[in-house]
Structure 1
Amino acid sequence: MEITLRDVESADLDEFFRFQQDADAAHMAGFAPTNPKDRSIFDHHWGELLNDEKSLVRTIDVDGQAAGSIAVFRDGDTHEVMFWTDKRFWDKGVTTTAFDLFLEEFQKRPLRARVVVDNVGSLKILESRGFTEIGEEQVFSNARAEVVTEKLLELR
């Protein structure tokens, strides 16, 4: 299995939208748009992200197919990373390998991440790469229709 990162192609967006429809994955991530089936909201979000010169967005590619995405964006004065991998690639080392490749490419620090406290897989990846907890926040999760606790982590 060859795992690489590449620029996002227009066909990838169709896959990313499909990934977003997976209720289990959205629950694990803890976030989703108010209406995850609304393609116009999805396209608007991705258009802003891809056209933001301060963001770095990559497709996680596994053997020539889009398996997920990883991006860093500016949140005020800090950079924040987010990632999403299609459920069929969970527990295969895909996200971990992609995250390592991304950290090689994007080396600005500090780098922050937000993760729902029960998203054990994402927390494991971040903590094993040196991210440490710097706080917690209570946020409303559309995907769960309830308030959840998110850990705020930072890599220096």
Structure 2
Amino acid sequence: MADSVGMSDQVRLRDVVPADLEEFFAQEHDPEAVQRSKFPPREREAFMTHWATKVLGDPTVFVQAITVDGELAGNAVAWWDEGRRFIGYWLGRQYWGRGIGTRALTLFLEREKARPLYADPHAGNTGSVRLLEKHGFRRTGTVRYGENEHIMLVLDENPA
């Protein structure tokens, strides 16, 4: 099965530690990831400040590091924005297409209990949209961020 995690791929979540930020910074600057997400990479100082204050420094944010066989692979985050709880995630390119995102999101949604839960991936990031839909998120419309169209999805309290 194309999206099943291989026998050697042990996917786990753990708390983020400051040493993880260098890898997250590198992942955010991967050109292919930037193209898929349409998320503009930040300069180092802005990135580190964002993570220190808006992610790790905000007690309402839930963030987990994603590991594969003990190696840091990415992160998953839930945060509040204008009264709605959103999720986002980022995986290093070497972990794409191996079912790791599927397993990581399953684990994350077991821990993040808020519902409804929203996500807004770039419309061209079909892998991310499919991943969310596989987990019960449903499309509710689109939203534009600058020139880029994103799909708004929601995971209700009682998914259909």
Distance 2:138 2:108 in 1: 18
1:53-72 equivalent positions in 2, closer than 5 A: 53-72=59-78
Match of 1:118 in 2: 124
- TM-score of the superposed pair, with normalisation by structure 2: 0.89
3-state SS of paired residue (2:151): strand
Structure 1: any 5+ residue segments left out of the alignment? 141-146
Structure 2: any 5+ residue segments left out of the alignment? 1-8
Higher strand share: 1
Q: 1:31 aligns with which of 19, 39, 47?
A: 39
Match of 2:149 in 1: 149
Q: Cα RMSD over matched residues?
A: 0.9
Distance 1:125 1:53 in 2: 27
Distance 1:55 1:154 in 2: 18
Q: 1:14 aligns with which of 18, 22, 26?
A: 22
Match of 1:3 in 2: 11
Q: CA deviation at 1:64?
A: 1.2
Runs of 4+ in 1 over 3 A off after TM superposition: none
Distance 2:28 2:121 in 1: 17
1:100-115 equivalent positions in 2, closer than 5 A: 100-115=106-121
Distance 2:84 2:22 in 1: 29
Q: Percent identity?
A: 35
Distance 1:127 1:153 in 2: 8
